[in-house]
Structure 1
Amino acid sequence: MIDVTVRDEVAVITLARPEKLNALTAGMRRDLAAAVRAHGRTARGIVVTGAGRAFSAGEDIAEAAGKPLEAEVESFHDMTRAVLETRVPVVAAVNGLAVGGAAEWTLCFDTRIGAAPAAEYFFPENHLGLSISNAASHLLLRLAGGRALRLVLDSARLSAADALTAGLLDELVPAEELVETAIARVRHWTRPGTATAVHLELLRPPLAEVERAFGAETVAARQVEQAGLAQAGMTRFLTRRTP
């Protein structure tokens, strides 16, 4: 449930499940990684955004409950790997709430532009007995520095302004200008004669370091699952949401 259009030679990937706040099923995660890889070879750049009022509610917990957590986490890891393997700019156009694995996914993007004031970041995993993923154990430190640990332990929910201050968003624009601003950023960075591909390789998080973070996070997912924390937390979440 993703839509892909090409505008001004830029691939715009839209998470298109607004009735579920664009919660990511396993199939959507596979499709996102595949779309990023495909358009990373053919487009000038990629913009990812969400339909409706959320960027993405993160993992579809109703689908994930009872499944091996390790496999779920590794599918998120491959979304991040797909972004970092491209040689074109990848921009997050955060139109609304970004939760958990979806919020963490954007941390590897080359820039994150938020719709003011709707863009929010929410990292609920710790209080759900889940562990972080998408190399957030490395990338969140890279962006937020010493604030990273508290953001995770507090299961913090940040407004657009707070996410900007924390370094999770790079700029805020009016909602109606969000996608066009993201496309314009890609086109500016990829004007003829630019050395963007080289600088992406130099300045992006090194893939070897990201892969080490993936390995550690997979171990952590196994630990919270074996301790019973993950399934208990997902059950609490689903029970709270049941009318």
Structure 2
Amino acid sequence: MTAMLSLAVAPWQRPPVLLRHADVPHYAASTMKVAVLAAVHRSGLDPDREVPVVNRFPSAAGGTYAHARAEDGDPEPWARLGGTAPLGWLATRMVSHSSNLATSLCQSAVGHAAVAEVWRRAGASAATGSPRGIEDAAARAAGIDNTVTARDLIRLLASLEPEVLARLEHNAHAVDLAAGLPPGTRLASKNGWVDGVRHSAAVVHPPDAPPYALAVCYTGPLANGQDTGDPAARLLARLSARVWACRHRLAEMPT
């Protein structure tokens, strides 16, 4: 497998000051859940609306797909299978514990067009989009895939409402970029990983410097697909630590 590392760093709400292969598309993994979260927020749907918790969804390639319980790291939505759950609660679990089942339920509630509109509004390139569900294997086999670039993840974060960013501050997976920061550092982040892929995007709020956004996408053999003990996760943590060390200079760097 050929390795590709992409990186984008930007003072918050400003153009990037550091780019490395930032426009190369990668499989999105769970970073696409940020766009679904924004679509739920902008839909106007009542967050207390009860959503039937099912495990059968329309495939972007036709037919249906279902999630594998063993592949989902969040057991809480599965405990409600056959019942209902509030839409807002599902959206929170989607990003705080990266629930795949909650993601498809939220995506079904708002529709794929609403998620596409989030990327369009963010100014994402043609290389980025989330046209299928997170585990829609038939669609992926048909060439319908979710992709991101490091630059577009920065654009997406910059387009989010404060309420949406606040949800990302409750990410329970304090690995990747978070692991390269001093303990207790405030950040709004979302990561994603599968075998061969490790990504993370965050808005970091140092107590002694202006906030900045950082996105790193890695595709290659270092990524073992595990939530912990992943060499690629340690690589992202080292990159995060290096950017942190330059935090005072970021706002002064030319764009």
TM range (shorter): under 0.3
Q: Which structure's residues are more often strand, by fraction? A: 2
Q: Which has the higher contact order (CA 8 A, sep 6+)?
A: 2
TM-score normalised to structure 1 length: 0.27
User: Comparing both structures, which one devotes a greater share of its residues to helix?
Assistant: 1
